[in-house]
Structure 1
Amino acid sequence: MHDPRTWITTPITADLLRGALDVERTERGLLPHRLPGWARAQFSDPQLARAESQPAGVRLVFRTRATALELDTVPTKTVYAGVPARPDGVYDLLVDGRLTGQGSVAGGDTLTVDIATRTAERRPGPAGTLRFDGLPDRLKDVEIWLPYNETTELVALRTDAPVEPAPDRGRKVWLHHGSSISHGSDAASPTTTWPAVAAALGDVELINLGLGGSALLDPFTARTLRDTPADLISIKIGINLVNHDLMRLRAFTPAVHGFLDTIREGHPGTPLLVVSPILCPIVEDTPGPSTLDLAALGAGRVLVRATGDPADRASGKLTLGVIRDELARIVDQRAADDPNLHYLDGRNLYGEADATALPLPDQLHPDAATHQHIARRFATHAFAAPGPFAP
């Protein structure tokens, strides 16, 4: 059916985006990134490239009287060979801070990843259109949160009234770094990842540097945190190091010190919260590497298992228990000279009782309900008095 309304096309520029640290102009549009170009150039790991280009916490923010809008995008949908396909990513529409609509974009590129061979094949596809109608006919602030699990090229924004950048509300900026759970894992939508929910509860602006599979104490990530303006900073580290079997305790301890030293070069007095991993029974006392359970996969279930030997802890292999003990010790040691450095045991966010009530479906990642649970716990510990992020 022909749409008789007059559409206004607004160029999508960086001043309409929040939560992105860099933007790339492509042949098709604007691609938000969560790591700057210089950092991306230092290590071309495909998993890191996918994670940082998936716009967790990134949103278009503008002010308008429009009652209808359309957003053309080219999503990249990642498919893992042999793993059941996941539904399309979700876009959340907020009007004056309230969730008003949700939608998905069909089409786009498809990236098929073969975990066994560590290869990937990309198949290009067409742009798709997200549309929202029936918005209130008044001046309002609109946010379109992009899917946390689909790399998204922004092609065109159309509205039936002019658009201007939304004013800065003067809220504190919370910069958070973590693993796939912080990235979003199996949350229901971009505004329901635990960092997004916690940011709403704390009334802060979120910059989410949750990088699925890639919270690995990389120096370029520390320098990115150092160079990003923020009022509050948290880093949640540990689970990826175990699952990749990346380093031993001898390397872990100075790497954590170096990571914190780098952040403090740019944020010497900013409240900085170090968060250890939530409970994950398969790697509490068993080292990695962790891998998909092929027998379960053959039966149509996605489960993760740890393949290490618990006896190897004696030679310095990392487990979550080892990491929590060492992070607590490091923060306690440094806090004598750094009163704005704080520690939170991740089991206060999700512990043994929670694992019974809200088990991890694949033995590694929380489900949508558990994201909400973790967010409320974090907001209580961090944003409420006497927490480190309390006003």
Structure 2
Amino acid sequence: ILVIGGGVTGLTTAWALLDVGYNVTVVSEQWANPKERITSQIAGALWEWPPAVCGRHTDLVSLEHSKGWAMTSYRLFERLMDMLPVEDHGVRMRLANFFFDRPLENLPDQYQKMKEIEHCGVAGFKHGAKLVKQHAVNQKAGVVDSYRHLAPVVDTDHYMYWLRDVVSQKGATLVTGRVSGDLLAQEDALLKNYGAVAIVNATGLSAIELAGDETVYPLRGALIRVVNDGKRFPKVTEALAVGIDDAHKGEQELVFIVPRNDKTLILGGIAQPREWNLDLSLESPEIVRMRERCNYFVPGLENAEYDPDAPFVQGNRPTRSENVRVEREMRLKRDGSSSHIIHSYGQGGSGFSLSFGCAGEVLTLLQELTVGVA
């Protein structure tokens, strides 16, 4: 099987395919590295029940699929943490707290999401206005309701290096290279060149070109990284997010504070649709506002020291107006025969949350596709 894309979606898919016995080649233009971080490394990577805080979900059918994929990922992250020490993979289970400026009963969409979370099987769920007072958040910040649950938090640099090693050690061939142009037009040539019977397209934003999908667009995000050692401010050990309520869905600025690992705290966030240029800096107005929001929400953060290795990171979430696409290529090849391409892209800001679930879906589609294929 040829997997195109070396981000969290592509590599997790490769892992799933390797575990059931497929031979896998992964082609990617870039891999996770410390200097030029790929999108998966920049991600907030807090597991969230769909739709995510930074999400833009419009397609209800796809949203229902995403919920199942998210729970598959939750369970597999749990198993990973049970089986291997955090030093291996960099995934930690932390309390994730979501705050709101009105009682949740007055926010129908958010209330429904909370009730789904309560019953979906995540651990540690609790809801109540008292939670606001139990946290070191600014009691004048205007939040009046909150819920929390345990959620996997991924140290993305650590995890992506580890994930690549896992896939390599399981026998995948990793090829650094670029595939360009519509995959359907070159499908037979790619299958022949790589000795494959099917192609998985996990290329994120490149699906605009490779799948001819003009509903894909970037959702620009950025994070400030600060030292979280307890010296300049009380150490933050839980994730804190202010949910965008029903009346403010169009707004693109939020509060998103997550301990990345035991020494780094990430501060966010923004969600800017169709902004291709990664030209933001710590001095950009929206980033200044982002820092001010976080400082106001958690007093003491104004004293934080920047992470010396990477004080500021930015990237484009690969988003799709019709939501996540995990399905077979429906267009026919020139000779009228069915395509052997399976797509998995458009996860937006939920790449880690959906990673194992989408990989399982690709595996199912692939097994249907390859029945009877030599």
Structure having the higher helix fraction is: 2
Structure number with higher relative contact order (C-alpha < 8 Å, ≥ 6 residues apart)? 2
TM-score (norm 2): 0.26
